[in-house]
Amino acid sequence: MKSATATPIASRATELEALHADIARKDMFPFWATTAGPGHDEVKRLMGAAPRAQPFLWSYADAIEPLLVKAAKLVTTVESERRSLILVNPGLAPRRATVTTMYTAYRLNDPNEVMPPHRHSPSAIRFGLTGTQNFTGVEGEDMSFGPGDLVLTPHDTWHNHGNVGADPAVNLSVLDLPLVETLNAVYFEHDYKEDGVAKKQQTARVPADYSERIYGHGGYLPRFVSHKRGTGMASPMYCYRWAPLRELLEKHKDWDGDPYDALMVEYVDPVNGGPLFKTMTFFAQMLRPGERTRPLKQTASLLVTPFEGGGLGHTLIGGKRFDWKNFDTLAVPAGEWMEHVNTSKSPIVLFVASDEPALRAFGLHKKWGRDASGDIERLI
The 10s digit of each residue's pLDDT in 120-147 is: 999 999 999 999 999 999 999 999 999 9
Whether residue 35 lies inside any domain: the answer is no
Residue 179: which CATH number?
A: 2.60.120.10
Whether residue 39 lies inside any domain: the answer is no
What pTM does this model have? 0.91
Domain count, the chain: 1
Whether residue 30 lies inside any domain: the answer is no
pLDDT-derived band of residue 15, with 50, 70 and 90 as boundaries? confident
Whether residue 293 lies inside any domain: the answer is yes
Judged against a pLDDT cut of 80, whether residue 46 lies above it is answered with no
- CA nearest neighbour of 267 among 380, 139, 354, 329: 354
Cα atoms found within 13 Å of the Cα of residue 298, Cβ hemisphere only = 22
Whether residue 256 lies inside any domain: the answer is yes
Give pLDDT tens digits for 234-276. Answer: 999 999 999 999 999 999 999 999 999 999 999 999 999 999 9
Whether residue 4 lies inside any domain: the answer is no
Strands 376-378 and 159-163: unpaired
Spell out the residues 6+ positions from residue 4 whose beta carbon is closer than 8 angstroms to its own.
Answer: none
* Domain ranges, residue 175: 56-378
Strand partners, 308: 349
Cα atoms found within 13 Å of the Cα of residue 120, Cβ hemisphere only = 18
Whether residue 270 lies inside any domain: the answer is yes
CB-count burial class (<10 Å; 0-12, 13-18, 19+) for 181: middle
Phi, psi of 243 (to 5 degrees): -55, -50
pLDDT-derived band of residue 37, with 50, 70 and 90 as boundaries? low
Whether residue 42 lies inside any domain: the answer is no
